[in-house]
Amino acid sequence: MRNQRKSSASLILGVLLLAMVGGVAYLYNSSLFERIPPSIVLEKEIDWNLKEPIVVHVKDNRGLRFVRATLSDGEKNAVLESREFKILEESVDLNLTFPRTGFGANKKVFELTVEATDASKWNFFEGNSFVAKSVIKVDTRRPELAIIGSSYKIMKGGAASVVFKAEDDAMKALYIETNFGKKFYPTPFYKNGYYVSLVAWPSRAENFSASIVAIDKAGNISKAHIPYFLQDKKYKTSTIALQDKFLDGKIADLTAEVAPENNGLEHLKKFKFVNEDLRIGNENNILKVTSNVPTQMINDFAVKTFYPLRNGKVVASFGDYRFYEYDKVPVSESYHLGLDLASNAQAGMQTSNDGVVVFARENGIYGNNIIISHGLGVYSLYGHCSSYLVKEGDVVKAGDVIAKTGMTGLALGDHLHFGMYVQGIDVRPEEWMDESWLKDNIFSIMNSAKKIIDR
C-alpha cells in the first residue's frame, strides 16, 4: 500500500514536472517571448545640410513599445524625438530636425543615437532593445563653382568645350546638365579642383542650354550656366522612294543575316524592322561604348584633324533627315548620323589620331563596325568595313590603316560611314576635320584656362 502511494506521488510529480517543462518550452518558443530586437535603418555617417529632416526607419514585427533619438555635441544632449506607444506600431519613421535652440553652436560634428524597444515579454518582460549610432556632419555650405573658360559658340549638331573649377571636401556628384536630358561628365584638368569637358548639341534637338551642377554629400547644390552663343543650322531633308529591287535584295539579305526569324515578314515590314528596330539596337550598341569618360587628370587634349579616307568624296552628309515612301505612301524615317565618304573600292581607312579600339564587330546596319576612343569622351566611328585590320583592345597610332572600305550592313555601294561622338552624342564630323575649329573651340580654351589657373 505504501509502495502504491509512493508510486502515485512519483507519477504525479513527474507529470507536474513535464507540464512545467512543457509550459516553459511553450513560453520560450511563443511569439510573446520572441527574442529578435527591433531594426533601425541608420547610416554610419550622414552629411546634413539641415534643410531636410533625417529620416530613420524603425521596425519590429512584434510591435514597437518605445523609440528615442538623441543628438550629442560631445558636451550636451538634445532629445530630437521620443515616443511611447500604447497601441503598438510595427513600423515607424522618425523625421528628425535640428534643435532650434542654441544647441551645438559653432560645432559641425555630432553623434546621433537612436534607441528602440519592442513589446516582447523577453528579458524579464522588459522586451528586446537595439541602439544605432551615426556620426552627423553638419554642412550648409554649397560647393565652390566657377567657369574658367568656354567656347564662344556651339552649333546645332556640333560640340563645344568648357573648363571650370569645382571644389568641396565632400563632393558627391559633378556633371553638366542639358535641356534635353543628357548629362555630360567632366575630366580632371591640369590641377586639383579643375575640370574640362566637351558638350554636344544633338542635331535633332531644337534648342540647347547647359549648366554645370555640383552636389555635395549633404545635398547642397551649386549651378553655373555655360554662356554659349547658339548657332542654328538647317539639316537636309529628303524623300526616298523605295524600290522592290532594294527591298528584295539588300533588305532581305540583311534581315536573313542578322535576324533570320523575320524572314517571313512582308518586304515593307522587313524594311521597317531594319530601319527602325534594328537601327535602334545598333545605335544603342554605339551609345554604350561611346559614353565612357576618362577620370584620370589630363594636361591637354592634342588631337589632329580627322581625315579617315584619302581622296574620299562626300556622298552623304551628316544630319540628313530621310523619309521613305513606297508607291508614294510614307513607310518610315531615319537620321543619318555620320558622313559617307567614298574613293576606290576596298580603300584603306586610317585613324588620324592615337587611340584605343573599343568596338570591332558586326553591328547591323553599320556592318563591320570599328570605334576608337581618343580620350576626353571623344570617339571616331568607321562603318561598312569589308574587313578588320584591328581588334578590340588594340592601341592604334595616327596613320595606322585599320580596315578596308566595303558594303557590309545597309550599304548599297562601297564607302566609309564616318562618325564622331562626344560622350555618346553623334556630332558633325566636319568640325573635327577643321583645324581652325579645333584651335578655337578646344585648344585655345584649354591653354587660356591654364594661364588663368596659374595666376
At residue 4 the predicted structure's pLDDT band, cuts being 50, 70 and 90, is low
Q: Angle CA(149)–CA(319)–CA(288) in degrees, nearest 5?
A: 70
Check whether residue 125 and residue 191 sit in a common domain.
no
Report pLDDT for 317. Answer: 96
Q: What is the number of structural domains in the chain?
A: 3
Q: Confirm whether 36 is domain-assigned.
A: yes
Q: What percent of the chain has pLDDT over 90?
A: 87
Q: What is the CATH number for 407?
A: 2.70.70.10
Cβ atoms of residues 155 and 428 within 8 Å:
yes
Report pLDDT for 185. Answer: 98
Check whether residue 297 and residue 384 sit in a common domain.
yes
DSSP state of 37: P
Q: Confirm whether 10 is domain-assigned.
A: no
Query: What's the first-to-final CA gap in the chain, in angstroms?
Result: 114
Can you give the residue range of the structural domain that contains 87?
Answer: 31-138
At residue 20 the predicted structure's pLDDT band, cuts being 50, 70 and 90, is low
Report the range of poorest mean pLDDT among 127-131, 213-217, 274-278, 433-437. Answer: 127-131
- Across the range 413-426, mean pLDDT stands at 97
pLDDT tens by residue, 331-388: 999 999 999 999 999 999 999 999 999 999 999 999 999 999 999 999 999 999 999 9
Check whether residue 96 and residue 221 sit in a common domain.
no
**Residue 55 above 70 pLDDT?**
yes
Q: Confirm whether 13 is domain-assigned.
A: no
Helix, strand, or coil (residue 19): helix
Q: Confirm whether 435 is domain-assigned.
A: no
**Residue 123 above 90 pLDDT?**
no
Check whether residue 278 and residue 339 sit in a common domain.
yes
At residue 17 the predicted structure's pLDDT band, cuts being 50, 70 and 90, is low
pLDDT tens by residue, 178-233: 999 999 999 999 999 999 999 999 999 999 999 999 999 999 999 999 999 999 99
Check whether residue 228 and residue 241 sit in a common domain.
no
Q: Distance between CA atoms of 444 and 129, rounded to whole angstroms?
A: 65
Check whether residue 377 and residue 270 sit in a common domain.
yes
Report pLDDT for 261. Answer: 96
Q: Distance between CA atoms of 360 and 390, rounded to whole angstroms?
A: 7
Q: Pick from 84, 107, 138: which residue ends a domain?
A: 138
84 to 92, 130, 139, 262: CA distances (angstroms):
12, 15, 32, 66
At residue 23 the predicted structure's pLDDT band, cuts being 50, 70 and 90, is very low
Q: Confirm whether 9 is domain-assigned.
A: no
- Across the range 42-68, mean pLDDT stands at 95
Mean pLDDT of the chain: 93
Check whether residue 263 and residue 296 sit in a common domain.
yes
pLDDT tens by residue, 238-262: 999 999 999 999 999 999 999 999 9
DSSP 261-317: GGTTS-HHHHHHIIIIIIHHHHHHHHHHHH-----S-BS----PPP--STTPEEEE-
Q: Beta-strand (E) ranges in 300-415?
A: 313-316, 321-326, 329-335, 339-342, 348-350, 355-362, 368-375, 378-385, 387-388, 395-396, 401-404
Check whether residue 187 and residue 174 sit in a common domain.
yes
Report the range of poorest mean pLDDT among 119-123, 142-146, 303-307. Answer: 119-123
**Residue 161 above 90 pLDDT?**
yes
Q: Confirm whether 344 is domain-assigned.
A: yes
Cβ count within 10 A of residue 123:
14
**Residue 22 above 60 pLDDT?**
no
Give exposure, 180-199, as e/b (b: 16+ Cβ within 10 Å).
Answer: eebebbbbbbbeeebbbbbb
Q: Confirm whether 156 is domain-assigned.
A: yes
Check whether residue 386 and residue 270 sit in a common domain.
yes
Q: What percent of the chain has pLDDT over 70?
A: 93
Q: What is the CATH number for 178?
A: 2.60.40.10
Q: Confirm whether 193 is domain-assigned.
A: yes
Check whether residue 262 and residue 369 sit in a common domain.
yes
**Residue 427 above 60 pLDDT?**
yes
Check whether residue 387 and residue 371 sit in a common domain.
yes
Report pLDDT for 104. Answer: 80
- Across the range 5-31, mean pLDDT stands at 56
Check whether residue 225 and residue 269 sit in a common domain.
no
**Residue 28 above 70 pLDDT?**
no
Q: Say what the pTM is.
A: 0.88
Q: Pick from 138, 166, 194: which residue ends a domain?
A: 138
- Across the range 74-90, mean pLDDT stands at 92
